[in-house]
A and B are shown apart, each in its own frame.
Chain A
Amino acid sequence: MKKALILTGFNPYSYSGGIETFTKALISLIELSNIKTEMICASDFSNTYNLYHEFIGQVYTAGRSLLSIRSGTYDFVIANGYYGGGYLTKNLKTFTIFHSTHTGYADAIKGFIPLSTYLEIRYIIGELLEQSCASGARIIAVSNRVKSELEGYYGLEDIEVIPNPVDTSFFFRLHDKEELRNKYGIPQNQKVGLFVGRWEISKGRDIVERLMHELNDLFWVGVTSTGGEASPPEGENITTLSGLNMAQMREIYSLSDFMLLPSRYEGFGLAAAEAMASGLPVIGSPVGFLEGIYLKTPFSAMSIPIALPDKNEIIAKIKDSIHKLFSDENLCEEISEKGRDIIVKNYDIAVWQERMKNILCLN
């Protein structure tokens, strides 16, 4: 029986996040082709080489452990971005999937983090680990944006773009909104804004936090994933949820009126794609796959600038977009319908499965 190895950061069955969702879909796809998958998670390794940064040490140790694997043990290896760091001499057929570039990520949040953190993300994770992951591997980027970053920052070539998948047969708008709101204790008479992601500066948590206070006539739902840098604020008009499964996420998308995604950086932006598949308008910055979406009508009305340190302009733009959305029912409905169409056509899991099968030669 054929065997594949997946090299990732965290166990996708214990942690929640975009890469973890992707990894689960990947495992299902490979196993459908009757190939056994094994997984190496950096978080399970110790920092054998005693680096000051514990997790970077774990990532390097995990990647380097592949050197002791005999050629032929696995038919292929798939590494999720820099989690393959330390696996430099690729003695196995390897695919490296870049969900983002840390160089791009670091540059996007440069003004918001200490210089040491910026340098660590940009040079150690980006320039050193990510570049080493790309060396000798077939490179896949999850969006055109990530592809252009890989080309621009690292000079990489021959990059295949395969956008992340959304199961559009699962993510669609549920119509029992009233019941769903009752289930989660969310008022019926208020418009609901949704934030999904790690509660951190790169996701624009400072923007969301301010809006939660300033627009207190709205009700805010924050769905946070593992590994945020702070806790969302508390308030009468705010509810925070975490550790939700896909079925619950579908319910949350369906009970909300819009999603707010003021991210400073996204490689793809899976939550936004799931929300759009669920018919939810997304007010967001042109990051990840949204970069192309927001160039088109009617979505351009929902586009906000990528958050700069001066937040006033962005806040005003978000308020304007919310106003447009709620004052024009037709616009809201058009965005909802066309949004789902785009996801079904371009990002459905069936499209992704076909493209992944081709590149991994699973057919």
Chain B
Amino acid sequence: MSELNDIKYEFPDIERALILSPHPDDETLGCGGTIALYSKRIDFTVIALSDGEAIDLPEDNKADLRKGELKDAMKILGARDIIFLHVPDGQFRQHRDEIREKLTGLFILKKPQMVFSPSLFDSHPDHIETAIACIELVERFPSIKIVFYEVYNPIRFNTLIDISKVVETKKEALTKYHFSMLKKEDIFISSILSLNKFRSLFTIKDSYYEAFWIHNTIRGLPDIINWFTYSISPPSPEDRLLSAIRVADSLVYQMRTAEGEVKEKDSVIRHLTYDLNKKEEIASDLQNQIHLMEESIFWKFARKFHSIKDRLLPEKSLRRLLYERIIFVLKNRLF
């Protein structure tokens, strides 16, 4: 926890900041408390990159609804300057050049000291594109500092702003986003406030915090990624190759083992099939013998005799007694 010593709990002394919001509501989720806290001191310009029209709602005028919600929320938080860039929602990647061009103009026009952006590691692709655009532009405007804020993913931070005093204001602003939050604003509000509450884990103080990473000396995408990932070195190309070979080698080994087992089982099946065929041959031979026997004159005579035996030798007749006596004697002699 030694890095706790490096964490700032106050926002730098600045006058102008841009807040890049990929979709109406991101700015309030990520830094609504900070806007409310500092809006008297800092001149915030909220830039909604998209109108949020790709949201999954049945309404026809989704863009207007969301833009209206943003305006209402900002009235509560105290940010008066709102700009809409109308970049198609969900298509930031395809509109990279347009985003860079529009933002460059605003950077020149507004002369911000800081630019807020969702972090590089926020899971929405538009958020990531916003962060990348921001990093690239700041390289051309080195006096501007980037401030990354959290929306969908917690980030490594270097600044924690205690928003406990304004948490109800943030909550009120969030309630304005009925459509933006898919008419389930309760879930959004409780989730984002839980994230703000979660940061108490670092301060050991029961409070609400908005976490930010404000870049100071680090420049460029590789350095920023390095910082966010605690400088864990990527594996060398040789290690990556070895890792790929190991996985493939293990899979091939498992497959080869399985092939060996299948081969063994096939061999057992072959032997059993051979035995079965042999036994079927024997059964077939016996069947043939029975058939030959059934076709013999003796067998036909015996069957005929048995069918008329009771008529030829009626029960309890002298002939029958004599017959049974002969059979008895023959059986005893023969067997």
Residues of A within 8 A of B (CB): 49, 51-53, 56, 60, 64, 67, 85-86, 88-89, 114-117, 119-120, 123-124, 128-129, 132, 135
Contact = CB atoms under 8 A, between A and B. Distances in A.
Given A86-B238, A89-B237, A129 B252 contact: no
19 contacts: A49-B242, A51-B245, A51-B246, A52-B252, A53-B249, A60-B241, A60-B242, A60-B245, A67-B238, A85-B241, A89-B237, A115-B255, A117-B256, A124-B245, A124-B248, A128-B245, A132-B237, A132-B241, A135-B237
A88 B245 CA distance: 13
A114 B261 CA distance: 13
B252 A53 contact: yes
Contacts of B139: none
A120 B241 contact: no
Interface of B: 236-238, 241-242, 244-246, 248-253, 255-256, 259
B259 A52 contact: no
A88 B250 CA distance: 22
Closest 9 CB pairs of A and B: A52-B253, A116-B255, A116-B256, A88-B237, A120-B252, A51-B249, A124-B248, A88-B238, A52-B249
A114 B249 contact: no
A122 to B, nearest CB: 10
A52 B256 CA distance: 11
Nearest to B252: A120
A114 to B, nearest CB: 5
B244 A128 contact: yes
A193 B253 CA distance: 40
Main secondary structure of the interface of B (DSSP, over half): helix
Contacts of A124: 245, 248-249, 252
B316 to A, nearest CB: 79
Contact of B248 (A49, A67, A115, A123): A123
Contacts, number: 59
A56 B245 contact: yes
Contact of A119 (B241, B246, B252): B252
B110 to A, nearest CB: 46
Main secondary structure of the interface of A (DSSP, over half): helix
B233 to A, nearest CB: 14
Contacts of B250: 52
Nearest to A59: B245
Contacts of B242: 49, 60, 64, 86
Contacts of A116: 252, 255-256, 259
A75 B60 CA distance: 71
A124 B236 CA distance: 19
Given A89-B236, A114-B256, A56 B241 contact: no
Given A51-B249, A53-B249, A124-B248, A89 B238 contact: yes
Nearest to B253: A52
A140 B252 CA distance: 30
B334 to A, nearest CB: 60
B254 to A, nearest CB: 9
Contacts of B237: 88-89, 132, 135
Residue among B236, B238, B250 facing the most chain A CB atoms (10 A cut-off): B238
A128 B251 CA distance: 14
Contacts of A64: 238, 242
A128 B246 CA distance: 11
Nearest to A87: B238
Contacts of B256: 114, 116-117
A7 to B, nearest CB: 15
